[in-house]
Amino acid sequence: MRLRQPAWRILASELNDSGFEHRDEGEFAPNFIITPLGAMVNRVYFVGTLGLLESSGGDDGNPFYRGQIMDPTGRFHISCGQHQPEALRALQDIEVPARVAVVGKIRTFTLDSGGLRVGVRPEIIRPVDRDAQEYWLFDAVRHMRGRIEYMDEAMRMGEPNEEKLLAIGAPKRLIDGILRSVELYGSVDLNKYRSQMVSALSFILEGDDGGDGALPDYEPEEKAGSETELLESAIMDYLRLGGSGGVPYEDILQEMQDKKLSEGPDLIEEALDELRNQGLIYEQPMGTFHLI
């Protein structure tokens, strides 16, 4: 019997910091990402503000959405296509910005730099009220505190193992992940996550002031990030104009510079890599880009 994978309550920052994946042997074995705090995550549940939603494709009847959902520590990246019909229908009805709850499976993309980019394929997405968000945050922090404590202990142990972790009261369900995390990440900066617990709890308490459950006013916090988003969508638009012959790299570079979206090739290449990793474009031959 294979139990349904639990939906981890996990803050965006911890999820996005994950650098490793794991897949058990076997045909239908689920794959996991291993977070720095030792969560082995296949499915997540989170609540946040959907601040950015863009649709691409569409002409061929295969809509595809990408979006960002913010929590007090960072942003979840979601992407959703025809294989997630329920979430797709829900997204078509949602007006940005909106407070939403998402249940989804982890998707990963390996960047050319060797890093891991963590995204979420929503199974379910729906608008929720502030109560749901506060409860989720509280739950996520509660679980996170446990992981921080056990990671702290595990990193102090000379050679952490299952027995020692059980002895300090670590729940069985966390042990495998903690051991893997210590092995893979070595030393983890726990204070970073401790201060994120404070941010998350403070966010809940801010609700006391407003009281009316108004949407939190989140700006995407990384400026570079939003530039990249703009750039990516501009490139997609430009490629759409290019037709079946594809568009040479030099033209893209020129166009983006003309539009003042980028001064040099660095950001553009990053954006192209990103789009390629997401399976939105391909390069054939080298230097000529097409929409998929």
Which stretches of the chain bind other proteins, using CB under 8 A?
A: 1-9, 24-26, 29, 45, 47, 101, 103, 112-114, 123-124, 126, 128, 131-132, 134-139, 141-143, 145, 148, 171-173, 176, 191, 194-195, 197-198, 201-202, 204-205, 207-208, 269, 283-287
Q: Is the peptide bond before 216 cis (omega within 30 degrees of 0)?
A: no
Sequence-distant (≥ 6) Cβ neighbours of residue 13 within 8 angstroms: 73, 74, 192, 193, 196
Our CB check for other proteins shows the closer of 96 and 124 to be 124
Question: Which of 54/123 has CB closer to other proteins?
Answer: 123
HSE (side-chain half, CA atoms, 13 Å) at 279: 9
Q: Pick the closer one to other proteins by CB: 55 or 184.
A: 184
Least distance between other proteins and beta carbon 13 (Å)? 16
Q: Is 139 exposed, middle or buried (0-12, 13-18, 19+ CB in 10 A)?
A: middle
Please, what is the minimum distance in Å from the beta carbon of residue 65 to other proteins? 20
Residue (19 or 220) nearer to other proteins, CB: 19
Q: What is the C-alpha to C-alpha distance for residues 198 and 211, in angstroms, rounded to an integer?
A: 20
Strands (E), the chain: 7-9, 20-23, 31-34, 40-41, 43-57, 63-71, 74-80, 98-110, 116-127, 247-248, 281-283, 288-291
Q: Is 156 or 260 the residue whose CB approaches other proteins more closely?
A: 156
Contact 179, 160 (CB under 8 A): yes
Smallest separation, CB 108 to other proteins (Å): 18
Q: Which is nearer to other proteins, 8 or 65 (by Cβ)?
A: 8
Which residue, 54 or 176, has its beta carbon nearer to other proteins? 176
Question: In Å, how far are 66, 102, 122, 140, 211 from 130, measured between CA atoms?
Answer: 23, 14, 20, 15, 10
CB of 97 to other proteins, least distance (A): 18
Residue 94: CB minimum distance to other proteins, A: 14
Order of strands across the sheet that contains 281-283: 247-248, 288-291, 281-283
Partners of 290 in the β-ladder: 282
Query: At its nearest, how many Å lie between other proteins and the CB of residue 9?
Result: 5
Distance CA 107, CA 31 (A): 9
Minimal distance in Å, beta carbon 51 to other proteins?
Answer: 19
